[in-house]
Amino acid sequence: MKMNVLVAAALMFGGMIAPGFAYDGATGLRSPVAKVTCDIRNDDPQAVCAMKCDDAYIRGKQHNMTDQSANEAEKKACDTKCGC
């Protein structure tokens, strides 16, 4: 009985502190989960172009009456134009 309680307590403690190890203290950002094709910060013209592509894509995703496959094709074309 005591062993089960100790194991459960250790697992709960591990679950609480595990997200802290995903923090990258050198850069102050969490570790990336998915690969980003373009950096969308306002650092350079390519980033501004990619941000505009993302904004247009999100606007298209929010409209129910738009053709989603055409919206995705436009996003890919815009990303290609930006150099992503």
- Structural domain harbouring 6: 2-82
Instruction: State the pLDDT at residue 66.
Output: 80
Domains held by the chain: number: 1
Question: 């980033």: which residue's tokens?
Answer: 47
Judge contact between 46 and 83, C-beta under 8 A: yes
Question: Which one, of 17, 16, 19, 42, lies nearest residue 31 by Cα?
Answer: 19
Distances (CA, A) of 54 to 4, 18, 31, 58, 67: 50, 32, 22, 6, 17
pLDDT digits (tens, 9 = 90+) for 57-84: 988 888 878 888 999 999 999 989 988 7
Judge contact between 30 and 23, C-beta under 8 A: yes
Instruction: State the pLDDT at residue 77.
Output: 92
- The overall average pLDDT reported for the chain is 76
Residues 6+ apart with CB under 8 A from 49: 78, 81, 82, 83
pLDDT digits (tens, 9 = 90+) for 8-32: 888 888 777 766 655 555 555 554 5
